[in-house]
Amino acid sequence: MSAFDNSRLAAVVLGAGKGKRMKTDTPKVLHPVCGRPMIEYVLEAASSVGAGETVLVVVQGSGELFSEAGAGIRCVEQGEPLGTGHAVRVALEALDEDFEEILVLHGDSPLISGGTLQALIDERRAQDAAASLVTTELERPDGYGRVVRDSAGGVQRIVEEADASDEERDIKEVNGCMYAFRRPLLEEALAGLTTDNTQGEYYLTNVVERLVSGYGTVVPVVAPAEEMLGINDREQLAAVDSIMRSRINKGLMESGVTFLDPDRTYVDYGVDIGRDSVIFPLVFITGRSRVGSGCRVGPCTTVKDSVIGDGCVVEFSYLEGCEVGGDVNIGPFSRLRPGTRMLATSKAGSFVEIKNTVVGRGSKVPHLSYMGDALIGDEVNIGAGSITCNFDGEKKHSTEIGDRAFIGSDTMFIAPVKIGRDAATAAGSSISRDVPDGNLGIERTAQENIEGWRERRKRKGSQKKGTGKI
């Protein structure tokens, strides 16, 4: 088999860990890292080496994991969880015999790269070894299995921390829990495993000692320490999330995006940002979001599952499920809810809320307004304090505002209602009937000024004080 022919290599990903230290009802490997379940990073790394098949080992009843695995991933249930060695044995039973090499990964190590996995495979082949394993050195190796070497420097065995002596715990080289095996030798070694350890489980790590003692060498492949980081508790989850976020932000900066403070800017995996955009601190761009080129986003802004066109400015605002065209100005302190479409050169100003509404080209909702379930034409101006009264207690109703309409401040649209093209509404009006094209809609009662009101109020107050009544 050539160095890059992996068609007869199968990847086994262990995803059956319960994550007791996470204190969670969610399968550990489904916890998100930068908006993406950690298991997906591992599956992507396995896919990058071109394995002929990938098997994901899950606990019984893991419906969520089955759905997350996606096309081309084969899921097998471990049944009774008897340890990592047992999990690999279950996976091998499900694999066709044509797969001669087995790559084993843990689903809680999302920082692993495809390049490290390919090096792991190539090194085993180059030395015709029984197996290869990833190792690294840590100043604080707490929680990791230690790699014990013989006098000649070869890998002798791996000892789990719970079973290690004081001398072994001082070893800085740790096991990365990623291996490449010759399948026949792996199967023989697995068959001889016992549960004689503190956990009472079949340790996959014990395979290393069995291979060295009876079947050949096990080759160490040293990798960057951060790629080895596993996740067993919430603190480790936060640490890995921080590293992944740095990778994402670094990649975006290399593509031409400016981050004023990358350590305080939070961008999910898969988010695309165009060149020459400037991202300010305390910005969260999450989910299936895209930001165009030449934009200015933030500070203190959330963009969730939204698309923002080129040349936009978004400040101190919250966008969710929105589509924003080019050269749109949003904020400060705007909230754009799902279903909002802001067409090119439109504006949503300060303290504006928009929901399930189309705002036409060049139209403006400058400040202190709510537009819900509305269709706003082009070049419309919405006066301050205007709202659509779209909910009657049972159903939502729509408001339509035609092109070039001018809406006076504090207009109430009692939906359903239509405002025609070039129409206008007078400030302070409650509009409950359609306004035809070019008409002015006005609804006000006659103003009444009450003479002497202040003096009468003062006298009435004095009388109450004199009688002791309040």
The string of DSSP letters for 410-465 reads T-EEESSEEE-TT-EE-TT-EE-S-B-TT-EE---PPP---TTHHHHHHHHHHHHH
- pLDDT at residue 468 in the model: 58
Q: What are the tens digits of pLDDT across the range 118-142?
A: 999 999 999 999 999 999 998 888 8
More confident residue, 441 or 62: 441
Instruction: For residue 398, give the amino acid letter.
Output: S
- pLDDT at residue 43 in the model: 93
Domain that holds residue 313: 234-441
169 and 247 inside one domain: no
* pTM of the shown model: 0.88
Q: Is the residue at 39 inside a domain?
A: yes
- For the chain, what percent of residues have pLDDT higher than 70? 95
pLDDT mean over 334-357:
98
Cβ proximity of 342 and 359 under 8 Å: yes
pLDDT mean over 450-466:
83
Instruction: For residue 143, give the amino acid letter.
Output: G
Q: What are the tens digits of pLDDT across the range 76-122?
A: 888 888 889 999 999 999 999 999 999 999 999 999 999 999 999 99
Element (H or E) spanning 376, and its range? strand 374-376
Q: Which of 180, 196, 228 is the last residue of a domain?
A: 228
336 and 190 inside one domain: no
Q: Is the residue at 165 inside a domain?
A: yes
- pLDDT tier for residue 67 given thresholds of 50, 70 and 90: low
CATH number of the domain that 63 lies in?
Answer: 3.90.550.10
91 and 154 inside one domain: yes
Say which of 31, 86, 106, 367 is annotated catalytic: 367
Q: Is the backbone peptide bond immediately before 332 cis, with ω within 30 degrees of 0? A: yes
408 and 263 inside one domain: yes
Q: What are the tens digits of pLDDT across the range 221-258?
A: 999 999 989 898 999 999 999 999 999 999 999 999 99
378 and 420 inside one domain: yes
- pLDDT at residue 458 in the model: 87
Q: Is the residue at 151 inside a domain?
A: yes
Q: Which of 180, 204, 228 is the last residue of a domain?
A: 228
Q: Is the residue at 54 inside a domain?
A: yes
Q: Is the residue at 468 inside a domain?
A: no
More confident residue, 1 or 245: 245
Q: Is the residue at 398 inside a domain?
A: yes
- pLDDT tier for residue 70 given thresholds of 50, 70 and 90: low
Q: Which of 228, 249, 279 is the last residue of a domain?
A: 228
Judged by average pLDDT, the poorest of 24-28, 46-50, 329-333 is 24-28
- pLDDT tier for residue 201 given thresholds of 50, 70 and 90: confident
Q: What are the tens digits of pLDDT across the range 7-34?
A: 899 999 998 777 778 888 888 899 999 9
Q: How many domains does the chain have?
A: 2
**Whether residue 397 lies in the annotated active site:** no
Q: Is the residue at 462 inside a domain?
A: no
378 and 280 inside one domain: yes
55 and 171 inside one domain: yes
Bridge pairing between strands 173-182 and 131-137: antiparallel
Q: What are the tens digits of pLDDT across the range 393-430?
A: 999 999 999 999 999 999 999 999 999 999 999 999 99
252 and 196 inside one domain: no
244 and 152 inside one domain: no
Q: Is the pLDDT of residue 470 over 50?
A: no
CATH number of the domain that 385 lies in?
Answer: 2.160.10.10
260 and 365 inside one domain: yes
Measured CA to CA, the distance from residue 414 to residue 347 in angstroms comes to 23
Judged by average pLDDT, the poorest of 119-123, 157-161, 240-244, 288-292 is 157-161
Bridge pairing between strands 341-342 and 347-350: unpaired
149 and 268 inside one domain: no
Place of tokens 């205007």: 386
300: left (phi over 0), alpha (psi -120 to 50) or beta: left
Q: Is the pLDDT of residue 66 over 70?
A: no
Q: Is the residue at 352 inside a domain?
A: yes
Q: What are the tens digits of pLDDT across the range 168-185?
A: 999 999 999 999 999 999
187 and 238 inside one domain: no
Q: Is the pLDDT of residue 199 over 50?
A: yes
